[in-house]
Amino acid sequence: MKIGFIGLGIMGLPMAQNLAKGGHEIIVPERKSLSAESRAAYKVVADATAVAQAAEIVILMVPDTPDVERVLFGAGGVAAGLSKGKLVVDMSSISPTATKEFASKVNALGCDYIDAPVSGGEVGAKNAALTIMIGASQAAFDRALPLFQLMGKNITLVGENGAGQVTKVANQIIVALNIEAVSEALVFASKAGADPAKVRAALMGGFANSRILEVHAERMINRTFDPGFRIELHQKDLNLALQSAKELGVALPNTASAQQLFSACAAMGGKGWDHSGMVQALEKLADHKIG
């Protein structure tokens, strides 16, 4: 298939590479930041409109809601190049409310729309092991499923448009609170005099085990805070959670506290840290580093 891919960042680049390994032609818009490797591997066209004109399916993987809106409907955007029967797949993590609006506009052009945010980070993207949470019609999902299978392993059609983004927000709540829990536990254990690496090893054999304890606790102990998934992006996702909760009249007290810890990290110059760097805000409060 001819697949347009917009957003060759930390996550998007390996996702596009896995699609190319599956035998698909990848079409990307011109960007000064395109590497020589990408220019050699993919067809480069003028802009997002040209991508949509040349591709059967257009995939977006960009940072935030305004970015998706601009790429879709701004000057030189995807919408201007769409023709009836094409498919737009947004794999970014953005507002569920805006997603429904974007889907309606794309549907009005005679095209299908899928929201398919992902979880699994850079490692999951490189290993084609992403979790993909999907909001779409059954027909659109069936059409895109072979592509999703080249990028991920846990692929779930949750419901209609917007349901994928709701699921991703829920995912980010759980991840943030797990990072907070692991951070607090390791700061506590270390300040009490225990070896945090041995505490982690012990806990991995019990009910407290998790992917966060396995992967992010090791980052905390080894002080490897290069992203990964940047704190500023997790802040964005928790903002979506808190904004949506306000609209729904739902209290998310621990989500709010996790957001405040991320904000403390950003104030320390850490908005570009991996989100496991949340531990540094708790270390500051305790006046104690675990590693």
Structure token pair of residue 62: 């960009």
Q: Which residues are catalytic?
A: 168
Contact predicate 271/235, CB 8 Å: yes
Which value, to the nearest 10 degrees, does the dihedral of the CA atoms of residues 272, 273, 278, 284 take? Answer: -90
Distance CA 287, CA 36 (A): 46
Q: What is the DSSP letter of 213?
A: I
Among 191, 272, 193, 186, smallest CA distance to 233 is for 272
Distance CA 38, CA 55 (A): 17
Distance CA 232, CA 86 (A): 33
Q: What is the DSSP letter of 277?
A: G
> 113-131 burial string, b = 16+ CB within 10 Å, else e?
bbbbbbbbbbebbbebebb
Distance CA 50, CA 194 (A): 59
